[in-house]
Amino acid sequence: MRIMCIGDVVGSSGCAFLRQHLHSFKKQQQIDLVICNGENSADGNGITVRSAEHILASGADVITLGNHSFRRKEVFPFLDEFPYIVRPYNYPSRNIPGKGYCVIDLGYTTVGVINLMGQQFMDANMDNPFIAADKILSEIVAKVKIVDFHAEATSEKKAMGFYLDGRVSAVFGTHTHVMTADAEVLPAGTGYITDVGMTGVVDSCIGVKKDIIIRRFTTMMPERFDYATGDCKLNCVVFDIDRKTGLCTAAQSYELR
C-alpha cells in the first residue's frame, strides 16, 4: 500500500493549493491513505473547523497537528468529536481536547496514525516523546503504524527514527517547513524523513512574509506573523508499505508546483 504524508499546510493559500493538486496526485500515484499536517492551516496560525474541513474535503484522510494545536479555542469541540484529527500524544496534561492517535480500518488492513512532539527548542513543555512512543505502541492495535514527529531539532528527529526502526511503518518529521533530502528506509524497515516540508507560498520564509521575519531577526523585536501570498508548492513523502509485515519498502519525497 502507498501512504502519502504532506508537510504543514500554511494558511488559505496552502489550503487552496492542496485542493488544486491533491486529488490528481493521489490518482496518479495510486495513494491508499493521505496524512496531512494542518496545524498552520488557518490564517493567523492554528487550525479552525473551516480549515480542517477544507483539508479533509481536499482528499486528506487524517490531519495531524503540533505546537499550534490549541491556538484557536473554537476548534476544541471539533477535536473531541472528529477522530481523524490528532494532536500530539505527549502533552503533559491528559485533560485536554482531542486524542494523540487514531486507527483507520481500510478493510484489507488497519492503519494507526500517531502524533508526537519534540522537546528540544520547542515552546511547549512536553512529556518525553520516546517514553510516550513506547506507551502508545504498547496500546495501539494496527498492522501499519505511521508517526508524525513534530519537532525542531534534526538530531531529535533522527534519534526517534532509529528508536522506532522496525517498530513502526514510517516516521515523518514536521514543524520546520523545510524539506530535508533524506527520505529513506532505515535498516530495520521503517520509512523515514527528517522533515517533509510545507504546503504554502514559495516566496516566503516558512510561509510568512519575508520582511516580517527579517525584521524579527534584525531588530530582535516581536512581530505579528502574516502569511505570504503568491505561487505555492506542496511538499510530501510517499511511503510504500508491505501489508503483511507492516514495514516500509520505499520512501520518495516530492515537491509539486
Which position among 68, 150, 175, 177 bears the catalytic label? 68
Q: How far apart are CA 241 and CA 97, in angstroms?
A: 31
Q: Around 42, how many Cα atoms within 13 Å sit in the side-chain half-sphere?
A: 20
**Which residue shows C-alpha cell 494532536?**
87
Q: What three-state secondary structure class fits 253?
A: strand
Q: Distance of alpha carbon 176 from its chain centroid, rounded?
A: 11
Give ∠ CA 131-111-22 in degrees, rounded to 5.
Answer: 110
Strands, E assignment, 101-246: 101-105, 110-117, 144-150, 170-174, 184-185, 191-193, 198-201, 232-241
21 is catalytic: no
Rg for the chain, CA atoms, rounded: 17
Catalytic residues: 68
